Amino acid sequence: MKYSALNLVRNALTGNRNWTPAWRSPEPAREYDVVIVGGGGHGLATAYYLAKEHGIRRVAVLEKGWIGGGNTGRNTTIVRSNYLWTEASLLYEKSMQLWEGLSQDLNYNVMFSQRGVYNLGHTLQDMRDIERRVSANRLNGIDAEVVTAAQLKTAIPYLDTSPDARYPILGASLQRRAGVARHDAVAWGFARAADSLGVDIIEQCEVTAIRTEQGGVSAVETTRGTIRAGKVGVVVAGNASVLASMAGLRLPVESHPLQAFVSEPLKPVLDTVVMSNAVHGYVSQSDKGELVIGAGIDAYLGYGQRGSFPTIEHTMEAIITLFPIFSRVRMLRLWGGIVDVCPDACPIISKTPVAGLYFNCGWGTGGFKATPGSGWTFAHTIAQDRPHELNAPFDLERFTTGALIDEHGAAAVAH
Ligand code: FAD
Ligand code: PYC
């Protein structure tokens, strides 16, 4: 179908009956070279890069609900690469570089907007940590700068930079290349591009068991029948432990709710992203005008995609502390996702003791920014049966060797 204004009107008036779907909806084949479990951004990106970079096209993405319906469609879309340790910085920076060409690569506008991300400092120790991280970022070739409270006052006029604020702002780190992207478009863009390379995207297809033969993966059982594959990549975020237990594995991962909120739409008031670890909240403004707000995880473990009232109150208090002007804004809706948290606040992109079974999880509160880089490195790991040098440090092995990469300080959203 041609994309003309007339077609747009016709489709709107006919309930989109004749709209050509952007990807096929095939019946699952009996066998694939690779099965990816989880149709979030990471799973779809993995399938895309398997086909594009490694020529592996007999690939299925199995999604129990609808693609992007998990954390991918529930996150607050912040993209940055300013992590402390070299291992993490390089991984997230690979992702940043892919983001910078993603709309062109997928031929789909993912609305990547490099509007900058500020991480505020409220104490002398915050400022020392900021300076240390900025230096570490620069040594890794990542753009980062320290800005003063006076610069913040000019750049973000509604931010309360007064010295008598409850948590006075002493300065911030700024990554100018950081920003936001449109989360749904990321899922749809990867889905459409993967589909066009022959990947089968199968929604409403829950994996209920993982079968092994002679120490290697052989098939998955699903609500739509048995699907055989010699390689299975599992990318199910908050459900990672559940899938791991199907293969007799235990992961060092806990699942927590993480909430987000949007306000009623406003005229443009905030053209960047502001995060504060100490006050503990963050806010940006979407292209529709809504304030997009979040804070940290709900402390308890759970799989319900909702959080508790104390976290809602805490988040609102934080945002109003930072931006008193927002106290009169009405909130429109809130929701929760389930994030998978590792003890060192870093992900797992790894082979497992079961041959042909790979896990990608543990992104906690911060995996959206990693979507392209995660898919790119996971595809390499699956195709070559060995990690790429960028994800080798994120192997499961680190939990036995002790070579943890502690990124709690750079997580920005506590988890
Ligand atoms: P998901 O998108 O969750 O995809 C996993 C999929 O697996 C789901 O669709 C699920 O239905 C499917 N699945 C589960 N079990 C099965 C099964 N048995 N069979 C088949 N399919 C199954 N990160 C950032 O970088 N920036 C942010 O601003 C940010 N904000 C966030 C705000 C909130 C409220 C939340 C919840 C998360 C946020 N994150 C953020 C984290 C980010 O959303 C995630 O790390 C990332 O989206 C994970 O992507 P994914 O593809 O791995 O997971
Ligand atoms: O990791 O930058 C991040 C983030 C922002 C909001 C949630 N996670």
Q: Does ligand 1 lie within 6 Å of residue 207's CB atom?
A: yes
Q: Is the pTM of this model over 0.75?
A: yes
Ligand 1 pocket test, pick from 71, 245, 273 with the greatest ligand atom count within 8 Å of Cβ, gives: 71
Cβ of residue 187 lying under 6 Å from some atom of ligand 1: no
**Residues 6+ positions from 29 with CB-CB distance below 8 Å:** 58, 60, 200, 227
Distances in Å between the alpha carbon of 70 and those of 43, 183, 305, 339? Answer: 11, 11, 9, 10
C-beta 339 within 6 A of ligand 1: yes
Separation of CA 323 and ligand 1 centre (Å): 29
Q: Please indicate whether residue 64, judged by its CB atom, sits closer than 6 Å to ligand 1.
A: yes
Per-10-residue mean pLDDT, the chain, length 415: 73 81 96 98 99 98 98 98 98 98 98 98 96 98 98 98 95 98 98 98 98 97 98 98 97 97 97 95 96 95 93 95 96 96 97 98 98 98 98 98 95 72
pLDDT of residue 2: 55
Q: Is 366 in the pocket of ligand 2 (CB under 6 A)?
A: yes
Amino acid identity, residue 412?
Answer: A
- Tell me the three state secondary structure of residue 218: strand
Q: Is the CB of 71 under 6 A from ligand 1?
A: yes
∠ CA 216-220-225, nearest 5°, is: 150
Considering every ligand atom shown, identify the ligand nearest to the alpha carbon of residue 241 and give its number: 1
DSSP state string for 354-370: SBTEEEEE-BTT--GGG
CA distances from 143 to 80, 87, 99, 323 (A): 10, 16, 15, 27
Alpha helices in 107-123 (DSSP H): none
In one-letter notation, the amino acid at residue 79 is V
Q: How far is the CA of 326 from the centre of ligand 2 (A)?
A: 21
Write down the H helix ranges in 59-145. 86-106, 124-139
Interval between CA 414 and ligand 2 midpoint (Å)? 9
Q: How many Å lie between the centroid of ligand 1 and the Cα of residue 163?
A: 39
User: Cα dihedral sign for 403, 381, 374, 207?
Assistant: negative
What is the number of other CB atoms lying within 10 angstroms of the CB of residue 268? Answer: 8
| Distance in angstroms (rounded) separating the CA atoms of residues 349 and 346 | 10
From the CA of 80, which ligand is nearest?
2
Tokens 């204004």 correspond to 5
- The answer to whether 36 touches 359, Cβ cutoff 8 Å, is no
pLDDT score of 362:
98
Q: Are strands 78-79 and 145-148 parallel, antiparallel or unpaired?
A: unpaired
Domains and CATH numbers, the chain: 27-113+177-253+342-415 (3.50.50.60), 114-165+256-340 (3.30.9.10)
